[in-house]
Copies of this chain bind each other. A is one copy, B any other.
Amino acid sequence: MIPSRHIALLLVLTGAMSTLMGQDHPSLILTQKGAGAIKQQLGKLPLLDQSIRQLQAEVDREMGRGIQVPVPKDLAGGYSHEQHKRNFFTLQKAGALYQITGEVRYAEFTRDVLRAYAQLFPQVDRHPATRSYARGKFFWQCLNDANWMVYISQAYDCIYDWLDPKEREKLNREFFLPYADFLSVETPQFFNRIHNHSTWGNAAVGMIGLVMDDEELVQRALYGSGHQVPADRVQDNDGGLIQLPGQAKAGFLAQIDEAFSPNGYYTEGPYYQRYAMYPFLVFAQALQNKRPSLKIFDYRQGVLLEAVHALLNQANSAGEFFPFNDAQKGMSFLSRELVAAVNIAYHFGEQDPSLLSIVEKQGKVPLDDTGLSTASALAAGKATPFHRQSMELTDGAKGTEGGIGILRSPNTDTDLCVVMKYSKHGMGHGHFDKLSISMYHDEAEVYQDYGSARWVNIEQKDGGGYLKENTTWAKQTIAHNTVIVDQKSQFEGNVRQADLHHSSPYVFDVSDKAAQVMSAKEDSAYPGVALHRTIALIESDHFENPVVLDLFRVTADDTHESYDLPYYFHGEVMKTNFLIEQSPGFESLATDHGYQHLGVEATGVPKDDNVMLNWFYKNRFYTLTTVASGTDQLIFGRVGKSDPLFNLRRDPVFIQRVKDKQDVIFVSTTECHGKYSPVTEIASNAYGQVKEIKILKNNDQYSIVQVEVKTGESMVFALSNNNSLATTQHKVQVGKEEIAWSGPFTLIHHKLIN
């Protein structure tokens, strides 16, 4: 790596020299050229005009509230926090508006607010709230201060040439430079991590450095500050490590090296990827503008733009990101970060016309070259639909540390989607959820991932930060749709242990749209227990929508008290094929590992070899059919025990508990079918089509199951458990029949074996 760094450095220095003199601002995000082009297009590009109008309305309203730069005091949700946040958003917009409209009042307002900050800065020490591992200046954590600087750099760049040079010099010297030092050299535990916090820190310092043409800051941003992390700062407040084992590098380029897998997966998951993407992309955009020779968008085979693509695909049909790991639900491609990201991906990437349909839904564009590109292309009618795809995203910098699999229905009318997580733990924001699935039917969560226990920025809920139930519930294995052994979380709930391991991808094959298959194994989560889950999304005439076949194989060195497989379904139970008993109480299932938060609402015992649960959600019907035995316990639970503050949602779960077994295979189908309208009051296709699932074979070599449907038709799915080579020929005797195939699995339609 060292030689390439030297080259980069050289290029950077050369670039820097060319910008040392003259009126060359703005040049960071909005450029002089871009501003000129936008002015020329005013009134011609509807989305651009609309964006300008929106910004003007917002900024004018904020300017009407007057300059408010309060003494830092509150946590997220409180006045001082929220006001400082408003300020950086407003100033970023005001700066751009000054450039585009030429109205001096926007420049004056920006200057006046910056003056107030510059005055406040030397008067305050670190923020009085002590909960962060890296307390900020205007905010309780440096992270928010870095947000501030990333946005404010853009505003400052827009008025830089307009400012009185003396005042500018003073601001640079007495405010921005010491503030950048504060965020970097004075807080190395924040600046030198491989973590989204540090990405913000790197971008903040780098961007203000680019504005001020301070090459030392730019270098620091790209390569880290080199300062050692204090010995008493080994962990952040989410339990994440400050210094990763073997971490040799720091700074923005190291973040790019480490943060993404080769196909753009971000180990913390899409919610944090969305958050992290903004500093990655906006600093990259700034580098592309001011240090074009660095070719930042080509860095690591263009992984930054690949990451935008990966992120857009980790979402339901409304564009809402899969909420695995710590994630608040509802975050989507409508976020400000994705507005920037998608426009950057279009402009600096290959002008993929399907991105334009997302820009259209976002309803606004950035006021810079990228927004000009997309607004022009949209006005020229170039948009095409964006279709999310089945895909596997590998994890780890080299793509060798597990991943996630996404299977999607081939029919684009209905987006039926199953996600399986077999990635790395995801660091401090990771959950103990290996081999967990979640499932979507368009926007509806068929099987939910709980997400985090947090109301971001809602002051009532502990200042908007992570609640203690995030640890005691949301991260625990029982909060996920995966097998829990002996009612303990994977890795005994130990983050450091979990961070050392990743699951192993076994099969990901979506070449046959009639049977898309993903399969992965996990051997470290429970010592002496091997987990192997396989999901097939099967399209067949028997079913209105593709059906999900789920094989979850557990093999152990010894007998275990319980294997629990929860299904966090949503909606109202319509029918079961077993008797449900409701106890008068509603006791917790157990006292720790998250079970203390789950109350038993009702229980049942399988009457047949298959258990059927039929439910209703958002005007559609769903049916789970699962192989069971009379010794299994069926549990209807509900979240919300040990939670007097109502920090958790009272969501339902159905758990199949297999007791006192050594090896077991959970086999189920999930069908999405029918519909109902409360206006017409007509129900159609209210029952599932699966009549019976049988396990024909289950041993170390093969798992073979048969699904019989009500019409009498049947299909057989066979999986090789220990050989995933595509070329291997398999031949297996099942009862009186022999089935043969090549590759790790086969699906035989119209087959009834016994």
Contacts and interface: CB of A to CB of B under 8 A. Distances in A.
Interface of A: 77, 82, 85, 328-332, 334-336, 455-461, 464, 572-575, 580-582, 584-588, 599, 601-602, 614, 616, 636, 638, 640-646, 649-650, 652, 676, 678-683, 686-687
Nearest to A338: B679
A687 B638 CA distance: 29
Interface centre among A599, A640, A652, A678 (most CB of B within 10 A): A678
Contacts of A456: 678, 681
Nearest to A582: B644
Nearest to A319: B679
A585 B582 contact: no
A460 B574 contact: yes
A24 B464 CA distance: 73
Contact of A646 (B573, B587, B682, B687): B573
Contacts of A587: 584-585
Q: Which 10 A-B pairs have the closest CB atoms?
A: A330-B678, A586-B586, A573-B646, A460-B574, A460-B575, A585-B585, A582-B644, A580-B644, A456-B681, A334-B679
A640 B601 contact: yes
A585 B574 CA distance: 26
24 contacts: A77-B683, A330-B679, A331-B681, A334-B679, A335-B679, A455-B616, A456-B678, A457-B681, A458-B574, A458-B676, A459-B683, A460-B614, A572-B646, A572-B649, A573-B645, A573-B646, A580-B646, A582-B641, A584-B587, A584-B588, A585-B586, A585-B587, A586-B599, A602-B644
Given A584-B585, A584-B587, A650-B650, 4 more contacts: A458-B574, A573-B645, A584-B588, A602-B646
B331 A678 contact: yes
Interface centre among A82, A85, A458, A580 (most CB of B within 10 A): A458
Contact of A460 (B580, B652, B678, B686): B686
Nearest to A329: B678
B580 A457 contact: no
Nearest to A649: B572
A531 B42 CA distance: 65
A473 to B, nearest CB: 14
A73 B335 CA distance: 54
Contacts of A602: 644, 646
A632 to B, nearest CB: 18
Nearest to A77: B683
Contacts of A580: 644-646
B77 A681 contact: no
Number of copies: 2
Nearest to A581: B644
A643 B582 contact: yes
A191 to B, nearest CB: 24
Interface centre among A329, A456, A682 (most CB of B within 10 A): A682
Contact of A331 (B332, B584, B679): B679
A290 to B, nearest CB: 29
B572 A678 contact: no
Nearest to A585: B585
A9 to B, nearest CB: 37
A328 B334 CA distance: 34
A459 B686 contact: yes
Contacts of A636: 646
A57 to B, nearest CB: 15
A681 B678 CA distance: 33
Nearest to A619: B330
Contacts of A458: 574, 616, 676, 683, 686
Contacts of A649: 572
Nearest to A651: B650
Nearest to A464: B683
A106 B584 CA distance: 59
Contact of A332 (B652, B679, B683): B679
A362 to B, nearest CB: 10
Given A330-B678, A586-B586, A650-B652, A457 B683 contact: yes
Contacts of A676: 458
A574 B461 contact: yes
A85 B681 CA distance: 11
A342 to B, nearest CB: 14
A31 B582 CA distance: 59
A616 B454 CA distance: 13
B328 A678 contact: yes
A116 to B, nearest CB: 22
Contacts of A616: 455, 458
A76 to B, nearest CB: 9
A417 to B, nearest CB: 20
Interface centre among A85, A335, A455, A616 (most CB of B within 10 A): A455
Nearest to A615: B646
A652 B650 CA distance: 9
A354 to B, nearest CB: 21
Contacts of A584: 585, 587-588, 641
Contacts of A614: 460
Contacts of A642: 582
A645 B680 CA distance: 25
A125 B616 CA distance: 35
A559 B474 CA distance: 47
Nearest to A676: B458
A465 to B, nearest CB: 12
Contacts of A686: 77, 458-460
Interface centre among A455, A456, A457, A683 (most CB of B within 10 A): A683
A680 B335 contact: yes
